[in-house]
Structure 1
Amino acid sequence: MIDLEVLDTELKQGKIENKYAFVGLDEMLIKEYTTSIIDQVLDINFRELNLVKIDGMNTNFTAIMDACETMPFMAAKKVVLIYRANFLKDKADSASKSLFKEMQKYLKDIPEHCVLIMYYLFEDKRDRAEKSTNLKAIDKNCKVVKADKLRGEKFLRKVKSIFDEKGKNIEKVELKYFCDSIENNFNIIQSEIEKLICYVGEKEITLDDIKLLLPKKEDEDVFDLIEFISLKRPEKAIDLMNDLLFRGESITKILSLVEGQLNLLFKIKVGIDERKSKEVISREIRRPLFVVEKLIAQSRKFSYKSLQEGMKSCIETEKKLKSSTADKKTEMELLFLNLAIK
């Protein structure tokens, strides 16, 4: 397995393999590198004729093999891109497991005229390519690329390049604050940069502008907590709570965030039932549109009854936390277990 830094070096040297499997959390980052491979392999004049895109969630082995075996049109190479290649995941249904076994064998025989690129996205920030049995199984016959988040100076330079592409200057102090405050996801970063540029117009970007517009980090944390609960994975919610406690958050603050999130999801469900648009909901709850889209999706995983009972459970837990005899951490763990079964 290689990371993006190694891949970047290889691409600059013109070293192109004919089989790649990308995996990570940031789809925009993965798309950037797959596009770079495609640009190097295909002649722009025949790009559309020699680029086949396949939805990995709605395909079968025959369709993939036919796409790979078909000769390129007036060119030496063609590219077959399989996005949402969830059959590469360890945990999959029987159809995906069968497709993976067929693809595992076929990777040894991909024709030289074809460059096959596959990718799928992790569902959890704690997922690691090195822990995947399937990825380790194909690593001998396919270049597996860990699209890990950019860190440190690389992250700063990448974010700065987006501002530069949009013709907007941002000074070092403001750039560092922006990068420290934003979720490390380039789909979100692109959206927030565009919003920030539109807001400041011709003016210079200031720290006050960034503080005013960026969503708070705690919004992301509580979203993840509730997401784990919606997936019936309270152990993951407890792990995240422990991370937050290690970072200095208090038990009462975490409880307050959870209760507030459940209340917010309830309001959003009401708004949806009243046929309010995403834009209207965004203004009412004072959240960016991309955040509202995520919250709407999350709200659909709960019923009105489960949200109401969840808020009642938070109130009951708050009363217990005020008792001097209660083990606060244990009470929060019980709350997450209780919420997950509602």
Structure 2
Amino acid sequence: MALLTASALGKTIRENDIDSLYYFYGHDTAALESFTKRLVNKLCPADAQVMNFHKLDGKNLDFPMLTDACEALPFMAERVVVTINDLNIDAVTKDDLDDLKKILGSLGETTTVIIYATGVDLFKNKKYLTDKNKRFADFCEKHGTVCNFEYKRASDLGKSISTYLAKSGCTITKSNAEYLANLCLCDTAFISKELEKLSAYAEGREVTREDIDLLCIRRIESDGYSLAINILRGNAAMVFTRLRELDVQNYEPYAIIGIIGFSLADIYRAKLARSSGRSVADVAKDFSYAKNREFAVKNAYSECGNISAERIRKTLEILSETDLMLKTRSRGKDGDMLTLEQGLARSMALRC
């Protein structure tokens, strides 16, 4: 009966305000999957799951099995729980969808169905579900509870990072915790993996920035901003050193230039906003930035003051030309990397 945030959803569960239907989706699949497992175990404890827990595959949904599970009465337990993983309505026929809605729209008080997505893409862009999935989410909201597990802000994840490390006797400063969150693009799955390494390496001491840079895998997406800002500042040593590292990691030149261009757009927006008296919050709102990317605007806003809008614009033009060359006149990976290097060199040689 509601569209809730993850924190509000958690509160309702703790207060035993349980619905018959849940629909979970979102980009932070690690948090989504973890929450689903905890909810299943709360509603149907391990000793009752043999008879009362039914796990179905949404990609090949067995409708007779779903019907039987939803109509079954709990056996020596309070509730029957049914999970459907990776149901993509775009791949469901109209007749099957009608049958599914009939089943989900008439669930008994002792049955809970949890539909959750961890391995399928339900989105038509970075923010919105496809039209069919959105209509189905609206249906689920009418008959139960819907939650979009969005990426959290780095500041919120920083607290979780500190708590995790404290359990192993380690500490970390607030700024370094947020640095790690941003490095992992606020993806809890990646953060969890990096925390396991860091806690084992630190062995009870403080986790430092040097530890993070030494051990943690830097996702190419997190490089976009540092590369873009150093291109604008003409810092060739940093740019080409990192470019060689990415080449060794087998990243394709067109992927690298795409990430750089993405961050240059952030910087250009921040520059124009700053020049016209608009705030970071204005930019994030006007361009619908996700919570885990608001830091990109904040960083750009504070560092673009001494970079001219003309330089950013001309750099974007050069890299757009380079991107077109990579996509239309490929010369193999080595040749394409040379094309990329030449484009970056032209950008850093600008005098404006």
Listed one character per residue, the Cα deviations across residues 197-230 of structure 1 (whole Å, up to 9, x for unaligned) are: 22223443111111222233535678xxxxxxxx
After TM superposition, the structure 1 = structure 2 runs for residues 209-224 of structure 1, keeping only pairs within 5 Å, are 209-219=211-221
Structure 2 partner of 1:277: none
1:247 aligns with 2:262: no
TM-score normalised per structure 1:
0.63
Instruction: State whether structure 2 residue 96 is matched by structure 1 residue 99.
Output: yes
How far, CA to CA, are the matches of 1:255 and 1:221 in structure 2? 21
**Does residue 135 of structure 2 align to residue 133 of structure 1?**
yes
Deviations 1:144-172 (A, max 9, x none): 11111122543222333332444533333
Could you tell me which residue of structure 1 aligns to residue 251 of structure 2? none
2-structure distance, mates of 1:317, 1:170:
38
Matched, 1:47 2:49: yes
Contact 1:259 1:314 in 2 (8 A): no
Identical-pair percentage: 22
Select 2:160's aligned residue among 158, 177, 184. Answer: 158
Counting only pairs closer than 5 Å after superposition, residues 9-158 of structure 1 correspond to structure 2 as 9-87=11-89, 91-92=90-91, 95=92, 97-121=94-118, 123=121, 126-129=126-129, 132-158=134-160
Determine the C-alpha separation between the residues in 2 that align with 1:7 and 1:239.
36
Distance 1:254 1:5, change over 3 A: farther
Is 2:18 the partner of 1:4? no
Aligned CA distance change for structure 1 residues 12 and 129 (closer, same or farther; 3 Å): farther
Look up the SS of the partner of 2:33 in the other structure: helix
Q: Which amino acid aligns with 1:126?
A: K
Would the alpha carbon gap of residues 150 and 213 (structure 1) be closer, same or farther in structure 2, given more than 3 Å must change? same
SS in 2 for 1:128: coil
Alignment-mate amino acid for residue 58 of structure 2: G
1:113 partner amino acid: T
Task: Measure the CA separation in 2 of the matches of 1:256 and 1:196.
Answer: 39
Unaligned runs of 5+ in 2: 225-253, 268-311, 348-352
Would you say 1:197 and 2:216 are equivalent positions? Answer: no
Any idea what the Cα deviations from partners look like across 1:10-36, whole Å, max 9, x if unmatched?
122221101000001122211222233
Q: Is the 1:2–1:143 contact (alpha carbons within 8 Å) kept by the matching residues of 2?
A: yes
Q: Name the SS for the 2:148 alignment partner.
A: strand
- The alpha carbon displacement at 1:258 in A equals 11
- Judging changes above 3 Å, is the alpha-carbon distance between structure 1 residues 311 and 69 closer, same or farther for their aligned structure 2 residues? farther
**CA shift at 1:6, angstroms?**
1.7
Q: Does the CA-based 8 Å contact 2:168-2:204 persist in structure 1?
A: no
SS in 2 for 1:109: coil
Contact 2:21–2:140, Cα closer than 8 Å, also in 1? no
Kept after mapping to 2: 8 A contact 1:83/1:118: yes
Kindly report the root-mean-square deviation, in angstroms, between the aligned alpha carbons of the 2 structures. Answer: 4.0
**Residue 307 of structure 1: CA displacement?**
8.1
The 3 A distance-change label for structure 1 pair 200 and 321 is: closer
Q: Distance in 2 between matches of 1:37 and 1:66?
A: 22
Contact 2:52 2:75 in 1 (8 A): yes
Quick one: distance in 2 between partners of 1:61 and 1:36? 26
Match in the other structure for 2:171:
169
Letter aligned with residue 113 of structure 2: L
TM-score by length of 2: 0.62
The Cα of 1:177 is off from its aligned counterpart by: 2.3
Between stretches 177-186 and 41-50, larger displacement belongs to 41-50
The one-letter amino acid of 2:96's match is L
CA contact (8 A) 1:77 1:114 kept: yes
3-state SS of 2:22 partner: strand
Deviations along 1:247-305, one digit per CA (max 9) or x if unpaired, are: 34855789999999x9xxxxxxxxxxxxxxxxxxxxxxxxxxxxxxxxxxxxxxxxxxx
- The secondary structure found in structure 1 opposite 2:108 is coil
Contact 1:18–1:114, Cα closer than 8 Å, also in 2: yes
